[in-house]
Amino acid sequence: MSEEQTSPKKPRALRKMTRQRVKNIGLYYLKRFESSVGNLRTVLKRRVDAYAYQNKEFERGEAYEWIEEVLEDFQRYGYLNDERYAEMKIKDYMSAGKSPRYILGKLREKGVDETIINTLMDAQEYDPYETAMKLAKKKKIGPFCADGEVRRERRSKDLAILVRAGFDYDVAVKVLETAES
């Protein structure tokens, strides 16, 4: 091995954090991902904190004010809209067979207001049995298991998968007792 390969890497010096840089980071993030206001705030604060860690004289408070100003601008321009974001995510999660508890938790994690989530969830037509069946099909459990004997042996594990995914015990049992399709 040469000396270059064994020497520890130095952390890359981060570019100077300015108001324009915060805005550019936010725009680049939004170009790649749809986001909620709370999630973008977290992303930007993480970048500011990384810069402040390397540059001890840097004033974080001022940068946090820049973040709030940028977020307000993005909302005004229509780049950020929590309701649009939540609606999109709810549809995606429901089509993937996720339970309302799971969806609520994920959207809370992303900083979406709970009243927005509840309003949008109430507007959705939701059948817990149907959604649990989608998950069972995806995981190849319950009625979607190829071998009947393996299905009986794995019943408790399959039940645990459905309950951990946020479905009620009764719904999980109903799915597992469904005849093979």
Name, in order, each residue with C-beta under 8 angstroms of 153's C-beta and a sequence gap of 6 or more: none
Range of the domain at 23: 19-77
State whether 36 and 63 are in the same domain.
Answer: yes
Q: What is the pLDDT of residue 147?
A: 78
Query: Which of the four pLDDT bands, split at 50, 70 and 90, describes residue 2?
Result: low
Q: What is the pLDDT of residue 85?
A: 96
State whether 47 and 89 are in the same domain.
Answer: no
The CATH number assigned to the domain holding 103 equals: 1.10.10
Q: What is the pLDDT of residue 155?
A: 87
Phi, psi of 36 (to 5 degrees): -90, 165
State whether 106 and 136 are in the same domain.
Answer: no
State whether 116 and 163 are in the same domain.
Answer: no
Handedness of CA 28, 33, 38, 44 (dihedral sign): negative
The whole-number average pLDDT for the span 128-132 is 88
Name, in order, each residue with C-beta under 8 angstroms of 116's C-beta and a sequence gap of 6 or more: 82, 83, 86
Q: What is the pLDDT of residue 150?
A: 81
Q: What is the pTM of this model?
A: 0.77
Q: How far apart are CA 45 and CA 38, in angstroms?
A: 11
* Token pair listed for 39: 């999630």
State whether 87 and 70 are in the same domain.
Answer: no
The whole-number average pLDDT for the span 45-53 is 93
How many structural domains are present in the chain? 3
Place of tokens 């799915």: 175
